[in-house]
Amino acid sequence: MKIDRSKLGKANKKKGANAELESVKFWSKELNINTLRRTPRSGGFAMDFKGDIFDTGNSILKDFVIERKFGQQVPKKIGQWMSKLKDESQGKMNFLEMSRPYEETYIVISRKQFARLLKELQGYKNEK
């Protein structure tokens, strides 16, 4: 049976777009903003935009470039490590620090915890 690659590509693009829209909805609700948008032609060659999601307003996310990954691109092992970390942290804030020899170190944090940090940071910025 021959695989129609154009249909497969369209399905993957649609899944990615749905994940990006889900992120826009999540962050809009969490941060009580209505200025987040998917990057036009995300995944294509959108020259004027960086990332998959951008803020047209002035929220805390204006300072971030947001790239959304979904599906097979995300290693299963990260989910396993984060699940174990969540159990061990007993409700405390937590993050996973990862690195490879001679490469930069990265931090992985759950989206809900990151939203909590952003809310606190937004409040701090508003106080100044």
The tens digit of pLDDT for each residue in 49-98 reads 788 999 999 999 998 999 998 888 788 899 999 999 999 999 899 999 99
Residues 12 and 28 in one domain: yes
What percent of the chain stands above pLDDT 70? Answer: 88
- Residue 53: burial class (beta carbons within 10 Å; 0-12, 13-18, 19+): buried
Q: Is 6 in the same domain as 50?
A: yes
Are residues 68 and 79 both part of a single domain? no
The rounded distance, in Å, linking the Cα atoms of 74 and 99 is 16
Q: What is the pLDDT of residue 89?
A: 93
Same domain, 35 and 68: yes
Computed over every residue of the chain, the mean pLDDT equals: 86
What is the extent of the structural domain holding 90? 75-128
Pairwise pLDDT comparison (123 vs 107), residue with the higher score: 107
Tell whether pTM > 0.85.
no
